[in-house]
């Protein structure tokens, strides 16, 4: 009892000094050679709620680098990166807590959470009462990670870029907000007064937003004393190289190492001053003296697009590029340091403000800036629609990239649940253009002033999204519920259609249809000679609505003519007033190369083709006629006639597809289509294929980040073959039609990979079913293991018993459905006969029997030997009609250069004996590779979607 009274007195006395504020006091010693720091720390945690707390949670994000199983490690895995998994243990960071006590030096019980190994749960000796504080003392050792994982940590020069590096308390506002580090830069900490004394070699310079209180020097050692009040940002640079510029302005000191080659220093100073003025004019006074803006922070969230091109292709002037890089990064830091939002749950407001003010800046200072910059002046490009679009159109373009692919997510989704493209690009762009949409809808009301008032009112205070919603609703005299209910909190797309116009002598009735289930406002424009005669905002509605306006001299009407609304389909937004079917048809526009969709035209794109599909056709030249623009469309066609130089014939392919996107269900995509092709399959031998197809795609509607996908396809494959007089192959089977149903369940992880499919085929002479399961794993000790199982059986088989054309293949399928990318599918000898595609039996050695016309089952296994070298082994049973099953096996070495895309197999031992010792061994080597650019491109894009 007495102990509790004494503790209460001490608490009250400390409160007199704290004035209700959290404190973080650090005394640390940097040991550069061992990449470590010894830390002694005091945390004064203030309970600002009416709850009594018995535990406190602390963020120790440096420990998120400690093992291969942390949430951070799993994040890398989800994005198809093995850099963390394969790294040396010495490159990973960790934290060792050696002491954790209270103000009376009593040891406090603590442990890392099982699911969050970078969050520490501390059990308090005494309850923490409302409006009281708790004093925690820690001693720990930090081992900093290599910066190649996230950009933060230590680089090869032993310079330190530190973010979220020391232990910080989590936020409690009725519930604890603690999260694991997932490389999102979103640690949520309470505002605190920070005091840091750091001992380090005097060859290092410290760059921080904290104020420098004092520097002490002694025998090559420097003690830097830094402090700041009301802080959340803890980014610190400890570097031997002095690359940062300090630019003092009337409003604050900007510290930056963002650079642009060729831009004079004085111009950087002028642009910095211009940007700080813009920040203060739109967000209010900055509460601190210094704002630190680093190249690292910009590189983590750059201006995506053409300005990512190499220097010699940069489309924008140096001053504009530097200005926008500095502005974008400064906006992010400024807003995050002033507006205390939960960065994992409430990120859309801070990121939306950033993009909104970035767009406003360009509109104000560079209204004529174009999306493509100087590239739009090139003769090949200047006639394109993309060359006419303004710089700010990119935000619509990138958001619609995800919306058209049915991969967009509500802005209220937790940031760690967003796919990478949404988290880094599309989400914040949707938020920014949403605020711009809201501003235009409010017309005479000054949203810019309201936003500044909101930021100023809540500066350095905990603010929630409901506060912003309440503020805007109270401020506006228009109904803005649609913005919070439909725009932010749903995936519902926006698509209004101008259905019809009806003219009378002095008025015009415009019939508008809302094709979606939302009530978003839409703008209606009356046009004459492409000049705006009238603009009015129509409140949201469902179904159909008739708007009557004076006829005047209106020639056309349009919805969203100024492209403010992020509308899913803008192609139905125009209508002529005159009752002429030709005037209401969109003009046909033919463009060279793919372009951004122009809603005023029916566009056809033409692209020259140079391809190599097989050795029989050889190099092919042709032209592709298609309608697919930069953004995905529902209806797509592609017609590609080509001339093949080897076969001296006209070949080619074509297809028509229609995609139906489904929202809110596991079944998210239904695609109908028909395609066909005409190519060689041997010398002077051609095939024609026609394939009507229906494909269903499934995913977890509640977890877009999951790579797990299910596919169901149904198709009818019709094959006709034509042999010329110089053909060297015989065709004994008649032309055929095969009905094929396939179900695929895949989880293409880079650490744990699995794929299952079941296949059913029905034709006049046979029916067959097969299953395939493949599993691969990269273990914790960086060894690869793989296992594949295949089984196939004929349900009935009336084909020619002397032909194996439709049989299961042990090592090289005949591919009678023409699905596989063989370069020489009819070759029995020579280099191209050695191409292997792992299908059906999956063997690498060419054994007898090579085919099965009754049933076959095989198992293929692989295991690491060293780095890219693996051992493989295959076993199987092959059963043909009228004979007993035959056991087959082989083993060898597999060289994996790019898994599934470029591999080489060296057989060693099989049913044939020691193949490696047999004559003409080189003919037994098998190889796998692809030249399809789309397949190779997917290796780099898969982490984004």
**Any bridge partners for residue 754, and if so which?**
747, 775
Helices (H) and strands (E) in the chain, counts: 14, 47
pLDDT at 943: 79
Please report the DSSP string for 188-203 in residue order.
----EEEEEEEEEETT
pLDDT at 61: 97
Angle, vertex CA 50, rays to CA 46 and CA 54, nearest 5: 65
Per residue, the 3-state secondary structure of 627-671, as one string, reads: CCCCCCCCEEEEEEEEEECCCCEEEEEEEEEEEEECCCCCEEEEE
pLDDT tens digits, one per residue of 732-774: 889 999 999 999 999 998 999 999 999 999 999 999 999 999 9
Mean predicted confidence (pLDDT) in 417-423: 94
Asked if the model's pLDDT at residue 139 lies above 70, the reply is yes
Three-state SS for 478? coil
As a residue count, the chain comes to: 945
Of 732, 757, 735, nearest to 746 by C-alpha is 757
- More confident site: 215 or 940: 215
pLDDT tens digits, one per residue of 295-312: 999 999 998 876 666 666
Of 633, 652, 519, 523, nearest to 568 by C-alpha is 633
Q: How far apart are CA 646 and CA 211, in angstroms?
A: 73
pLDDT at 308: 67
**Proportion of the chain above pLDDT 90, given as a percent:** 79
Roughly what angle, to the nearest 10 degrees, separates helices 465-475 and 347-365? 50
Q: How far apart are CA 890 and CA 924, in angstroms?
A: 12
pLDDT at 581: 57
Instruction: Mean pLDDT check: name the lowest of 46-60, 575-589, 641-655.
Output: 575-589
Cβ–Cβ < 8 Å for 596, 386:
yes
Per residue, the 3-state secondary structure of 364-381, as one string, reads: HHCCCCECCHHHHHCCCC
> Can you state the percent helix, strand and coil of the chain, rounding each to 5?
20, 40, 40
pLDDT at 580: 60
Q: How far apart are CA 555 and CA 532, in angstroms?
A: 11
- Per-residue pLDDT band at 582 (split at 50, 70, 90): low
Mean predicted confidence (pLDDT) in 583-590: 76
Asked if the model's pLDDT at residue 553 lies above 90, the reply is no
- Per-residue pLDDT band at 7 (split at 50, 70, 90): very low
**Any bridge partners for residue 36, and if so which?**
31, 143
Instruction: Mean pLDDT check: name the lowest of 85-99, 159-173, 497-511.
Output: 497-511
pLDDT tens digits, one per residue of 534-545: 999 999 999 999
Pairing of strands 109-112, 176-177: unpaired
pLDDT tens digits, one per residue of 693-745: 999 999 999 999 999 999 999 999 999 999 999 998 888 889 999 999 999 99
pLDDT tens digits, one per residue of 601-612: 889 999 999 999
Asked if the model's pLDDT at residue 16 lies above 50, the reply is no
Asked if the model's pLDDT at residue 20 lies above 80, the reply is no
pLDDT tens digits, one per residue of 769-796: 999 999 999 998 889 999 999 999 999 9
E strand or H helix at 276, and its extent?
helix 265-283
Q: 590, exposed or middle or buried, with CB in 10 Å at 0-12, 13-18, 19+?
A: exposed
pLDDT tens digits, one per residue of 845-866: 999 999 999 999 999 999 999 9
DSSP type of residue 84: T
Cβ–Cβ < 8 Å for 705, 727:
no
pLDDT at 2: 37
pLDDT at 318: 83
pLDDT tens digits, one per residue of 109-131: 999 999 999 999 999 999 999 99
E strand or H helix at 293, and its extent?
strand 290-293
Q: How far apart are CA 462 and CA 338, in angstroms?
A: 10
Asked if the model's pLDDT at residue 242 lies above 90, the reply is no
Write down the mean pLDDT value for the chain. 92
Per residue, the 3-state secondary structure of 389-408, as one string, reads: CECCHHHHHHHHHHHHCCCC
Spatial neighbors of 755 by CB under 8 A, at least 6 apart, are 744, 745, 746, 747, 748, 772, 773, 774
pLDDT at 9: 37
Three-state SS for 265? helix
Asked if the model's pLDDT at residue 812 lies above 80, the reply is yes
Q: How far apart are CA 14 and CA 20, in angstroms?
A: 10
Instruction: Mean pLDDT check: name the lowest of 194-198, 205-209, 895-899, 902-906.
Output: 895-899
pLDDT tens digits, one per residue of 326-365: 999 999 999 999 999 999 999 999 999 999 999 999 999 9
DSSP type of residue 446: -
Asked if the model's pLDDT at residue 931 lies above 90, the reply is no
pLDDT at 899: 83
């Amino acid at each position: 009892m007495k102990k509790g009274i004494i503790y209460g007195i001490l608490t009250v006395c400390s409160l007199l000094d704290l004035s209700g504020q959290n404190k973080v006091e650090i005394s640390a010693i940097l040991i550069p050679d061992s990449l470590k720091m010894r830390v002694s720390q005091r945390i004064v945690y203030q309970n600002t709620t009416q709850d009594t707390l018995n535990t406190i949670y602390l963020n120790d994000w440096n420990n998120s680098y400690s093992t291969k199983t942390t949430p951070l490690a799993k994040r890398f895995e989800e994005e198809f990166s093995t850099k963390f998994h394969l790294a040396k243990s010495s490159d990973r960071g960790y934290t060792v807590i050696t002491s954790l006590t209270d103000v009376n030096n009593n040891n406090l019980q603590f442990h890392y959470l099982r699911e969050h190994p970078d969050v520490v749960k501390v059990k308090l000796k005494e309850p923490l009462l409302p409006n009281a504080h708790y004093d925690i003392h820690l001693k720990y050792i930090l081992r900093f990670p290599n910066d190649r994982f996230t950009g933060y940590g230590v680089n090869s020069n032993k310079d330190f870029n530190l973010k979220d590096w020391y232990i910080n308390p989590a936020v409690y506002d009725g519930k604890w907000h603690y999260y694991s580090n997932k490389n999102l830069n979103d640690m949520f900490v309470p505002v605190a007064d920070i005091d840091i004394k750091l001992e380090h070699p005097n060859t290092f310079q410290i760059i921080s937003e904290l104020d420098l209180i004092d520097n002490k020097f002694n025998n090559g050692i420097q003690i830097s004393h830094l402090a700041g009040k009301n802080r959340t940002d803890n980014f610190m640079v400890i570097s031997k190289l002095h690359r940062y510029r300090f630019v003092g302005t009337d409003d604050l000191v900007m510290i930056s190492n963002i650079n642009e080659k060729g831009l004079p220093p004085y111009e950087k100073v002028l642009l910095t001053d211009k940007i700080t003025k813009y920040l203060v004019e739109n967000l209010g006074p900055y509460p601190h003296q210094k704002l630190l803006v680093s190249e690292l922070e910009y590189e983590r969230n750059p201006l995506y697009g053409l300005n990512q091109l190499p220097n010699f292709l940069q489309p924008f002037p140096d001053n504009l590029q530097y200005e926008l890089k500095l502005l974008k990064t400064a906006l992010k830091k400024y807003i995050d340091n002033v507006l205390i939002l939960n960065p994992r749950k409430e990120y859309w407001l801070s990121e939306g403000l950033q993009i909104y003010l970035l767009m406003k800046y360009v509109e104000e200072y560079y209204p004529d800036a174009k999306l493509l910059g100087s590239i739009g002046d090139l003769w090949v490009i200047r006639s394109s629609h993309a060359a006419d679009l303004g710089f700010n159109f990119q935000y619509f373009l990138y958001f619609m990239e995800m919306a058209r692919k049915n991969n967009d997510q509500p802005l209220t989704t937790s940031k760690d649940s967003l796919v990478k493209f949404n988290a880094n690009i599309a989400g914040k762009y949707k938020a920014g253009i949403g605020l711009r949409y809201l501003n235009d809808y409010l017309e005479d009301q000054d949203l810019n002033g309201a936003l500044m008032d909101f930021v100023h009112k809540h500066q350095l205070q905990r603010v929630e999204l409901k506060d912003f919603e309440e503020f805007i609703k109270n401020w506006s005299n228009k109904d803005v519920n649609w913005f919070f209910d439909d725009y932010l909190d749903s995936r519902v797309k926006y698509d209004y259609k101008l259905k019809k116009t009806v003219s009378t002598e002095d008025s015009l009735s415009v019939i508008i249809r809302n094709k979606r289930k939302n009530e978003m406002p839409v703008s209606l424009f009356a046009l004459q000679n492409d000049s705006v005669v009238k603009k009015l905002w129509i409140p949201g509605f469902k179904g159909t609505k008739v708007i009557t306006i004076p006829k005047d001299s209106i020639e056309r009407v349009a919805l969203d003519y100024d492209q403010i609304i992020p509308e899913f389909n803008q192609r139905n937004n125009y209508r002529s007033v005159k009752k002429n079917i030709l005037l209401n048809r969109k003009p046909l526009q033919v463009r060279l190369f793919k372009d951004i969709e122009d809603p005023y035209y029916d566009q056809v794109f033409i692209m020259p083709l140079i391809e190599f599909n097989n050795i029989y056709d050889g190099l092919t030249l042709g032209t592709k006629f298609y309608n697919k623009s930069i953004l995905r469309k529902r209806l797509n066609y592609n017609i590609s006639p080509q001339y093949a130089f080897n076969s001296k014939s006209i070949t080619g392919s074509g297809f028509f597809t229609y995609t139906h996107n489904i929202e809110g269900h596991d079944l998210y995509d239904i695609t109908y289509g028909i395609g066909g092709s005409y190519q060689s399959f041997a010398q002077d031998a051609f095939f024609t294929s026609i394939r009507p197809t229906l494909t269903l795609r499934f995913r977890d509607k509640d977890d877009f980040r999951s790579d797990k996908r299910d596919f169901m396809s149904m198709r009818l494959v019709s094959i006709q073959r034509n042999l010329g007089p110089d053909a060297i192959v015989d065709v004994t089977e008649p032309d055929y039609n095969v009905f094929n149903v396939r179900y695929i369940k895949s989880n293409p992880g880079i650490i744990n990979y699995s794929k299952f499919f079941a296949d059913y085929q029905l034709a006049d002479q046979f029916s067959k079913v097969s299953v395939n399961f493949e599993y691969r794993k990269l273990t914790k000790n960086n060894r690869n293991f793989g296992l594949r199982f295949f089984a196939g059986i004929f349900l009935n088989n009336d084909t020619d018993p002397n032909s194996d054309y439709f049989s299961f293949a042990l090592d090289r399928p005949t591919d009678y459905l023409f699905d596989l990318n063989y370069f020489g599918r009819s070759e029995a000898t020579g280099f191209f006969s050695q191409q292997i595609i792992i299908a059906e039996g999956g063997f690498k050695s060419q054994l007898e029997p090579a085919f099965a016309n009754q049933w076959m089952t095989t198992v293929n296994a692989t295991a690491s030997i060293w780095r890219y070298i693996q051992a493989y082994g295959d076993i199987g049973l092959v059963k043909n009609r009228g004979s007993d099953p035959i056991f087959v096996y082989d083993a060898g070495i597999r060289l994996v250069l790019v898994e599934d895309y470029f591999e080489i197999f060296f057989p060693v031992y099989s049913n044939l004996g020691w193949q490696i010792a047999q004559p003409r061994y080189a003919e037994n080597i098998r190889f796998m590779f692809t030249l399809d650019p789309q397949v190779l491109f997917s290796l780099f894009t898969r982490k984004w979607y």
